Structure 1
Amino acid sequence: MKQQYLERAGAFETTAEALKKKYNRYSLVRLLLFVAAVGLGIYLWTGVHLLAGAVFTLAFLYAFYRFILWHQDIQQEERHHRRLAAVNRLEAGVLDHEYASFQNGGEFSDPEHPYSLDLDLFGDYSFFQYLNRAGTALGRERLADYLRHPADPAAIQQRQAAIAELQKMLDWRQHFQAFSLETEDSLAHLQLLKRWLEEPPFVSNRPWLVAALYVSPFWALAGLVLFILYLPWYVAILFLLPPAWILKATKEQVDKAHVQTTQAEGTLAHYARLLRHIEGQGFETPLLQALHRLLELPGGKLASDAIHRLSYIIGQLNVRYNFFAIFLNLGGLWDLQWACRLERWKGSLKENLPQWFEAIAEFEALSSLGNLYCNNPEWAFPIVHDAPRLEGEALGHPLIRRDKRVSNDITVPTDGHIKL
């Protein structure tokens, strides 16, 4: 297995280098295209016709924008393959019992827990660190819950089947892990977002305010035209008073919604990639199929697109940080436009967002266990029964190297007995 990991690391690194060269090559093309287009545009504007210049400029700006997006996708692919190479190098090290670079789950350590300290579940060189492949805070918390809270036999059997399926899906698991490694999330920020879900609307439930959102751009345009044509500035400025009053009246509520959502913009964009990866894969075991169904929306819509849309809306509300936001607000009530879109998104998908978080958390926890089984295929799935008895053959400590581990058969009653 170690050789396979090293070979995969080399292959992904080779692909990343090829993508880097492609990106650099098209960086030059991008520059040359821009210079050539500027020259041609000047010629069309000045030497041919204003209409020809205008049509060319609009067409070029659109095409150049699409080219930039495609160019950025190449760079994103390169970084993804770098992460895939790193994932495989780390797994090769894990087979030599080198796993200190993984997050150790120290934040989940609880001195009051009945067994986590005795069993070295969390902290440096703990079982959590050996097991953990979750890149999101959601996944790490769920994996810690697996270790801290006993599950009933039916849930254990469902998880075992899911783990056995994921164990065989090496490529899918590693891409999922590489996507998760892009994510820098926080349970505190997600808690704020969940709190926002419970807040009542303050824009979309006021017809006069919704009407103002439609009217305000035309109102501002009318004021600008009148100012240019003949109105003195001290009269034209009166057109700014209604939007200024509306913004002042709603500022506190907009600020509250912004504080609760602003930190989630990047996190949700990364979550969208994880969901898209799950959506693109079919599963056979009941638990994985049930998790996959959590992502289904009416009309064939995708959860990944919906959560990416939420990230985009939050990003537009974050524009209020820019110096020119005052012009957007006075000219079109920018903050309220996007606060209203936030509320409409919440109104239609409020119940779905926690389910999508649940799917990400479960898939990361189960993928970590699938990876553990992949690295240790000789390990057995325990058979859970109701009798007060623990039996095992060749049981050994998972955190001791194979060549130094001493394994033993064991049979011990669990109703008050202990064996050291």
Structure 2
Amino acid sequence: MTSRIEIYEKRIEALERQKEMAIKRGKRLMWMRLLSFAAAVAALFGLFAISVVAAVGLSLLLMGLFALVATRDVKNQRLVAYYDSLIAICRNEVACINGDTSAFDTGAIYFDIRHAYTYDLDIFGDRSIFQLLCRASTAKGKQLLAQRLQHPLKREEIARNQQSVDELANEMEWRQELQAVATEMEADKENLTSIKTWLTADNDGLSSFGLRLMVVGYPILVVGLMVLWGVGILNGLVTLSLFPYFIIYGKYGNRIAVVQSLVGKSADELRSYARLLKVVEAKTFRSPQLMELKSRITKSGRQPSAITAEFAQLVQQLDVRNNAAFMLLVGAYIFWDFRVVFKLNRWKRKYQLLIDEWVAVVGEMEVLASLATLAYNNPSWTMPEVAEGYFRLEATEAGHPLIPAKQRVCNTFSITDSKTILLTGSNMAGKSTFLRTLGVNMVLAYAGAPVCAQRLTVSYVPIRTSMRITDSLVENTSSFYAEIKRLGEIVKAVKEGEKAFLLLDEILRGTNSNDRHIGSKALVDLLVESQVCGIIATHDLSLSEAQHTYPKAIANYHFDVQVDEKDELYFDYKVKTGVCTSLNASILMRKIGLKV
């Protein structure tokens, strides 16, 4: 079976060939532009003495050819840039499969140390789950992906999402086209900043009934006065009739200028989004979710390209106000710019909600394409089953998604009957990574994504973690107090009846061993009493004796280490039943020169 890297590399080779052809075509078009322009100049001057008509006619014909070639050349340059984007996309995917995700957004702006699990599970930040997943270029796409990782989908939506991801996983070229077109958009255009400002702004009196009546009726009155003036009647009133123009333009002229500034930028922004929507529009989908998303961009009955073309035409009409001669001779007297603004306001009322819909649809498509890319790049991963009831977790050969496949060690593990798992083990044996493996795959499962496992069945429950605790100078909080606050949130949720799945790593590490044992045991008692399932990783071997008190509610598992005659440590990173009996701290201390 051809590997994904080989597929990407073959695609890069094909795209390089197409790009090279486009570059050669561009060189030919450049020469054609030069020759057609030179020929037009030569025809004009060479034939002018013989026949002015022939000189001008042939010159115009050749300039028309020049314009046609120039247009083709611009399209060809865009095509070269498009091939460059596709090549970069493929190269980034090869790097990603090899463990380098540096080309993708880290999602650092969504970093939240107070979140129930995202900080502990490396969901955002450098070398994070978000960075592994994100292929979105628009701000909305990134925001929706972050929300998907922070807040699970509803259980009934997960299967629907999985179906869409499975369909798009087999559409690599379409996904890359969507990504390439989105990448071409400039940063300010992708956010639709200007048009959002205009759409949400108050019309500032520019749509009032009185103003509209004045704009429509007053020019007619002035024309009537000019007719009367022309026949020698009411001479003085014609001059007086011009004063209302000064009053209206004095009051509203700056407001018109603000609208012109916003919609001028908005036209380019909308055209960029229309290109993205055209990629969605041209695709035939099978899964219900994708078909519904596609239908949302055309529910007005018009294509996005037609709607944006109408808007662009209105913007061009408004820009005519920059022509001083036109405004002095005609425009000002018929309130040309006011009339265009009225049309723009009608366009706004008609399509305002549709623009928001376009942004949302593109964002959703980018999220699904991101998850589908994850599925495509990892064909050995699987779609999980999200089950009802509390609590069930059955994982076959589950691994951590952020560890490259060649270094990844997978584990088969299951929890049933709401048991509390006490996980002991040596330093560096893999306890923390194991906790994150389960937590991260649950987050992916709840996001409708594939998981890093041969098979995974997991109940739909909240996730809470306490694994990575840091102090805060800003909040004047020590690491121990920060952990106490975190555990306090978990204890409160358990006492209030929340049935979450807990992942706790070396809790109460900031206090003495006796207090740590007392606190840990109290927490275990609470979990057993509340029938809340979780895994507690600990070095406190005496805590594992709680299984004798609660034989049906607690199970012991461990990670161990093998030591040879030279005190070299060997880890297999495999979870095993029972309590750990092999410890390595004293060996490590001897290696740094301590006599223990």
Calculate the TM-score normalised by the size of structure 2. Answer: 0.59
Question: Where is the strand percentage greater, Structure 1 or Structure 2?
Answer: 2
Do the aligned partners of 1:297 and 1:303 also contact (CA within 8 Å) in 2?
Answer: no
Q: What are the ranges of 5 or more consecutive residues in structure 1 without an aligned counterpart?
A: 219-237
| CA offset digits 1:30-57 (Å, max 9, x no partner) | 122122223334567664355x667667
**Are 1:209 and 2:232 counterparts?**
no
Could you tell me how far apart the structure 1 residues matched to 2:340 and 2:65 are? 27
Question: CA 1:313–1:213 in structure 2 vs 1: closer, same or farther (change >3 Å)?
Answer: farther
Question: Structure 1 residue 361 and structure 2 residue 477: aligned?
Answer: no
Partner deviation per Cα, 1:63-103 (whole Å, 9 max, x = no partner): 54443222211110111011111111111111101111111
**Displacement after TM superposition at 1:60 (Å):** 5.8
**Match for residue 104 of structure 2?**
102
Say yes or no: does 1:303 pair with 2:307. Answer: no
Residue 187 of structure 1 and its aligned partner are, at CA, apart by: 9.2
Shift of 1:377: 1.5
Q: Which has the higher helix share?
A: 1
Letter aligned with residue 354 of structure 1: D
Q: How does 1:326-345 map to 2 (within 5 A)?
A: 326-327=324-325, 329-330=327-328, 332=331, 336=338, 339-345=341-347
Deviations 1:137-174 (A, max 9, x none): 12111111111121112211111100000000011111
Match for residue 393 of structure 1 among 391, 396, 419:
396
Match of 2:73 among 71, 79, 100: 71
Deviation track 1:302-357 (CA, whole Å, cap 9, x = no partner) reads: 1134235535655776788xxx6545654546755653453243233223111111
Indicate the larger mover: 160-169 or 306-315. Answer: 306-315
Q: C-alpha distance in 1, partners of 2:220/2:184?
A: 38
- Take 2:255 and 2:194, find their aligned partners in 1: how far apart are those partners? 15
**Alpha carbons 2:39, 2:62 under 8 Å: kept:** no
Structure 2 unaligned spans of 5+: 224-239, 419-460, 462-498, 500-531, 538-596
Alignment partner, residue 374 of structure 1: 376
Q: Which has the larger radius of gyration?
A: 2
Cα distance between partner residues in 2 of 1:270 and 1:37: 35
In structure 1, the residue corresponding to 2:365 is in which secondary structure? helix
Aligned-partner SS, 2:386 = coil
In the superposition, relative to structure 1, how do residues 213 and 256 fare at CA in structure 2: closer, same or farther (>3 Å)?
A: farther
Picking from 17, 34, 43, the partner of 1:40 is 43
When residues 130 and 329 of structure 1 are mapped into structure 2, their CA distance, relative to the original with a 3 A threshold, is farther
Taking the aligned partners of 1:343 and 1:396, their CA distance within structure 2 comes to 55
Give the secondary-structure state (helix, strand or coil) at the position aligned to 1:392: strand
Higher relative contact order (CA 8 A, sep 6+): 1
Aligned 1:185-200 pairs, distance under 5 A: 185-186=187-188, 190=192, 193-198=195-200, 199-200=202-203
Instruction: Quote the Cα distance in structure 1 between the aligned partners of 2:368 and 2:217.
Output: 49
Asked whether the equivalents of residues 192 and 270 of structure 2 are also in contact (C-alpha less than 8 Å), the reply is: no
User: How far, CA to CA, are the matches of 1:353 and 1:316 in structure 2?
Assistant: 21
* Correspondence for 1:234: none
> 1:403 maps to what in 2?
406
> Mapping of 1:136-215 within 5 angstroms?
136-186=138-188, 190=192, 193-198=195-200, 199-200=202-203, 202=206, 206-209=212-215
Question: Once the 2 structures are TM-superposed, how far is the Cα of residue 393 of structure 1 from its aligned partner?
Answer: 1.7
Query: Normalization by structure 1: what TM-score?
Result: 0.82
User: Contact 1:122/1:128 (CA < 8 Å) preserved in 2?
Assistant: yes
**Pairing partner for 1:418 from 534, 556, 561:** 534
Distance 2:166 2:56 in 1: 60
Residues 220-253 of structure 1, C-alpha deviations (whole Å, 9 max, x = no match): xxxxxxxxxxxxxxxxxx9998876654332232
Aligned to 2:27: 24
CA distance in structure 1 between the aligned counterparts of 2:315 and 2:80, rounded to whole angstroms = 27
Change beyond 3 A, Cα 1:139–1:325: farther
Determine helix, strand or coil for the equivalent of 1:365: helix
1:116-155 maps to which residues of 2 (within 5 A)? 116-155=118-157
Q: Is the Cα–Cα contact under 8 Å of residues 195 and 269 in structure 2 kept in the other structure?
A: no
Alpha-carbon spacing, 1:404–1:26, altered in 2? closer, same or farther (3 Å): same
Q: Distance in 1 between matches of 2:241 and 2:324?
A: 14
Size of the alignment, in residue pairs? Answer: 397
Greater mean alpha carbon deviation, residues 252-261 or residues 372-381: 252-261
- Give the SS at the match of 1:393: strand
CA distance in 2 between partners of 1:13 and 1:240 (Å):
65
RMSD: 3.6
Query: Separation in 1 of the partners of 2:14 and 2:252?
Result: 55
Offset of 1:214 from its aligned partner? 11
